Chain A
Amino acid sequence: NAGVTQTPKFQVLKTGQSMTLQCAQDMNHNSMYWYRQDPGMGLRLIYYSASEGTTDKGEVPNGYNVSRLNKREFSLRLESAAPSQTSVYFCASRPDATNEKLFFGSGTQLSVL
């Protein structure tokens, strides 16, 4: 069972470059999330998608865009990367509104120089 798959696992960017982080889940989950994890700050929600076709901002959306391509895939785009976006990014999914459990991918470690 693959669960939640994130690519790439590691990425180094220069300031101003763009890139897209990919996330796919094979569990037929409705909701998907993007979090960033920074030392001493826990996980902060960037964007989420409650269901296919909808996306909403979380706590820290500035500098990011998302696309819910279909029910399986939820991508996160950095249009012009900044050093403040150096972080570990996690994608998560949740079955439906009645199920509180989040399933996480293994993360993407991003460094912006």
Chain B
Amino acid sequence: DSGVTQTPKHLITATGQRVTLRCSPRSGDLSVYWYQQSLDQGLQFLIQYYNGEERAKGNILERFSAQQFPDLHSELNLSSLELGDSALYFCASSVHPSGANVLTFGAGSRLTVL
């Protein structure tokens, strides 16, 4: 157990729907990162939060949004889902996003859009 908790582990939904993925960072970590990994592809950086504030944005679609709450858990909201959104979504956390801190990954949420 890495200490980073992601729920749900698996999610199957239909096109056009909206889902929310949740992430609880490791105890003591203030920074949360979201990544998308499509089948046998690399890790695409979506967005990063530090202590409740958005600090960096990657290739995140406008249909996707995220936030980090005061208790430091984070949620990634995916709306108007398309078949191509099917992927493994990873959350990672670190103490600080300075680049000198290790990222610890959760087990991922596997989203299947039918």
Asked if A pairs with B, the answer is: no
B residues near A (Cβ < 8 Å) are none
A residues near B (Cβ < 8 Å) are none
